[in-house]
Chain A
């Protein structure tokens, strides 16, 4: 069905994407001008000169991604009210993610002079090996994720490019009706591997589509065109604008999403008649009263063990993500930190709860969708003005861009600071470091773009487990570094390796079992489902084992130097780092 509304919404979405890209490029230029300082290029370029304000910290440290914005509604539509329980640990996220480690990480980053995560661990524990392992893990995890992000960005552009452009490059996506193509845009955004693997689980549940081996590879010219446009845009504004450009783009897309939810809520409520009507429709359509209860309609989507796990996943593991820790090193002062907690609390409250109501109502407005992934674009197009719909649907694309730019910088900072400056050219001048930083960001972007032309199959495994893997690797060292005097470098190396290893093992075994046809019956299922040992998510086991290994190995090995401990835990004093 090619009704005029979807066609207009499709055009509007394309225009909105163009607007997003133009705004992002402009933000890159402005950020470059604002970020120019007479001293400390690296601190300015990779950390925004430690001057992040409350709004920026709140809306970028722990707020929804494009995947959340698209994947979460799909889950609500499919499984019902229990998905509210799935997400509701966001009620404590502001205090855990920003409050538990925030002040201390901010202080230690200043005290050690660290501007990257490997810098931080290396200086805090006086362990170059720990810094090197951190660099390798960060580069490994984030590069794999970036490939998938580039692919999602390219796919969104491929699907929204006007037909005339597609014909001009000699191909046509021909994805069916306009609304079907819009749904694929949403799917591409939801496929974006956020730092929260739960969204990836959503996609894992999808039935495998008949695969065209040339689709979305270098042989697919429209895909390549989308990839080039996406890569050039994001690499340029990131390389030129640095950390501030990434942050500002993130803030912009978060605000657009918030406005979108606020517009949709009254429209959905009015169209459905009431929330109860949505619940009743959901029960009737699924034939399962569990649409109104746990563990969810159709299958045990969210048993209580997973409910507990997700309180760990969202509220605890987010503390250990590199992107979060870097932001905690970059906020201006503690007043900023306090206000960012307040802003984030209010943001979560007015976004996530209305989203539940909206997509329960969607059961009444759009009954019996065969693919729940389509619910967001279909509802937006049904309820909103086409140009507002376009902007709302383009917001996840902005989320992909901002996520890419943030990760690009983390990787290039790791290469420039932790490898090039530390090991190759310690005497490099400020100008040389500046050139290396620009070049590093561009080269990483180009390398990832090339990988995205035909991503290796094993990357999917890395992407799926990387969120839990990163939390299991970095949370324990960050927490021990902040609060435990006895923690040492060897203990933290053990914590990192054990956490990543346990998480990877649970995913790898789960995938092997899934390939042999085994389904535990819990979670969203699919071929990428991990082992839920004792009904708990791997993140619980990964983080738990990481803390245990860190404590045991620290206690079994030599204590840290007295001078180091004093410097980290006593009042600030003049720097005599390595007496």
Chain B
């Protein structure tokens, strides 16, 4: 069965590492989205029963409090995480042999043929 998992020894390590990177990236995105949008909505959005006035700006270095908390701080934190992840955690992998020439040859020889779909 093609969908069954092969023995671990055969599994491509680049695939496994890529999967790890993808999981990290999507989790990171989900947390950032939830925190930023959630905290902005709670602290910086006009909505019924939550009217904000100029007194609610509460500036930090001239920046509205909600923006400082919900955008600036997360942006700096995410940047640090991105740099640490890419610089220290993400693995270097061998991407393998480039088969461009073989594909080129197959096209020329007409052996690059598949079923229509």
Contacts and interface: CB of A to CB of B under 8 A. Distances in A.
Interface of A: 39-40, 42-43, 50, 81-82, 84-85, 88-89, 91-92, 94-96, 99-104, 106-107, 110-115, 119, 122-123, 126-130, 274-276, 278-280, 283, 289-290, 292-295, 304, 307-308, 311, 315-316, 333-335, 338-339, 341-342, 345-346, 348-349, 353, 357, 421-422, 426-428, 482-483, 485-486, 489-490, 493, 559-562, 564-566, 569-572, 575, 577-578
B112 to A, nearest CB: 7
Given A104-B18, A489-B117, A50 B98 contact: yes
Interface centre among A40, A345, A565 (most CB of B within 10 A): A345
Interface in B71-88: 71-72, 74-76, 78-79, 81-83, 85-87
Nearest to A486: B3
Contacts of B85: 95, 99, 341
A113 B108 CA distance: 14
A81 B67 contact: yes
A127 B3 contact: no
Given A129-B116, A276-B62, A572 B3 contact: no
Contacts of B12: 107, 569-572
A379 B21 CA distance: 42
A199 B57 CA distance: 28
Contacts of A94: 82, 86
B67 A84 contact: yes
Contacts of B46: 289-290, 293-295
Given A89-B32, A91-B79, A569-B11, A333 B95 contact: yes
Contacts of B21: 99-100, 102-103
8 contacts: A40-B101, A89-B33, A92-B28, A103-B17, A112-B99, A274-B62, A316-B29, A575-B102
B86 A422 contact: no
Contacts of B108: 426-428
- DSSP majority for the A interface? helix
Given A110-B96, A422-B107, 7 more contacts: A95-B28, A103-B14, A111-B99, A122-B114, A276-B62, A294-B44, A333-B95
Contact of B90 (A99, A104, A115): A99
Contacts of A276: 59, 62
Contacts of A279: 57, 59, 62, 64
B96 A345 contact: no
Given A307-B37, A334-B91, A107 B117 contact: no
B6 interface: yes
Nearest to A421: B107
Contacts of A482: 18, 22
Contacts of A111: 96-97, 99
Given A95-B24, A104-B15, A339-B86, A294 B41 contact: yes
B66 to A, nearest CB: 7
Contacts of A91: 32, 36, 74-75, 78-79
A115 B100 contact: yes
A426 B2 CA distance: 31
A164 B104 CA distance: 53
Contacts of B49: none
Contacts of B45: 293-295, 304
Given A85-B71, A577-B102, A345 B22 contact: no
A99 B14 contact: no
A353 B72 contact: yes
B117 to A, nearest CB: 5
A554 to B, nearest CB: 10
Nearest to A562: B2
Contacts of B2: 485-486, 559-562, 564-566
B74 A110 contact: no
B62 A334 contact: no
Contacts of A483: 15, 18-19, 22
Given A85-B70, A338-B86, A570 B6 contact: yes
- DSSP majority for the B interface? helix
Interface of B: 1-3, 6, 10-15, 17-19, 21-22, 24-26, 28-29, 32-33, 36-37, 40-41, 44-46, 52-54, 56-57, 59, 61-64, 66-67, 70-72, 74-76, 78-79, 81-83, 85-87, 90-93, 95-104, 106-108, 110-117
A115 B104 CA distance: 10
A99 B19 CA distance: 10
A501 to B, nearest CB: 18
A362 to B, nearest CB: 14
Given A103-B17, A293-B64, A570 B91 contact: no
Contact of A349 (B75, B106, B111): B75
Nearest to B31: A92
Contacts of A280: 54
Contacts of A129: 116-117
A545 B92 CA distance: 34
Contacts of B98: 50, 110, 113
A122 B115 CA distance: 11
A569 B19 CA distance: 11
A525 B69 CA distance: 29
A85 B96 contact: no
Given A85-B71, A92-B78, A293-B66, A99 B99 contact: no
A113 B102 contact: yes
Contacts of A572: 12, 96-97
Contacts of A490: 117
A112 B103 contact: yes
A487 B5 CA distance: 14
Contacts of B114: 122, 126-128, 578
Nearest to B22: A100
B18 A88 contact: no
Contact of A304 (B37, B67, B113): B37
A334 B100 contact: no
B91 A577 contact: no
A561 B114 CA distance: 11
A111 B37 CA distance: 40
A293 B52 contact: yes
Given A293-B46, A311-B33, A422-B107, A578 B101 contact: no
B26 A100 contact: yes
